[in-house]
């Protein structure tokens, strides 16, 4: 398993809505992520900057942000587009992060 991390930007004032939507994440999206070999997925929020930091383990070398051709993912991105910084296709603006330390 490979661990990958990335950051995204939450629009100000939408912290609770972001949490609410993820607390009710669609079962078909969870199934898709697991089918694609994505697990141990966490998202952290930096209150000072409104950046979201995603960390996930992947078995196929592709993370959740690489599944944009899937209709479920496209629907999720559209659902989240009003509260996050997004690209023209509603995908979240995502910046990969380089690991500099890991304690096993």
Which positions are annotated as active-site residues?
A: 22
Return the C-alpha torsion angle 31, 34, 97, 99, nearest 10. Answer: 160
DSSP-derived pairing of the beta strands 38-46 and 95-97: unpaired
62: pLDDT confidence band, cut at 50, 70 and 90?
A: confident
pLDDT in tens, 6-36: 999 999 999 999 999 999 999 999 999 999 9
Nearest-angstrom CA–CA distance, 77 and 64: 11
Domains and CATH numbers, the chain: 2-97 (3.30.70.100)
């Amino acid at each position: 398993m490979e661990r990958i991390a990335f950051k995204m930007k939450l629009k100000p004032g939408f912290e609770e809505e972001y949490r609410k939507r993820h607390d009710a994440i669609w079962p078909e999206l969870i199934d898709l992520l697991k089918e694609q070999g994505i697990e141990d997925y966490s998202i952290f929020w930096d209150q000072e900057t409104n950046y979201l930091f995603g960390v996930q383990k992947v078995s196929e070398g592709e993370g959740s942000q690489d599944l944009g051709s899937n209709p479920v993912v496209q629907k999720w991105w559209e659902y989240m587009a009003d509260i996050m910084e997004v690209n023209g296709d509603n995908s979240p603006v995502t910046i990969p992060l380089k690991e500099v330390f890991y304690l096993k």
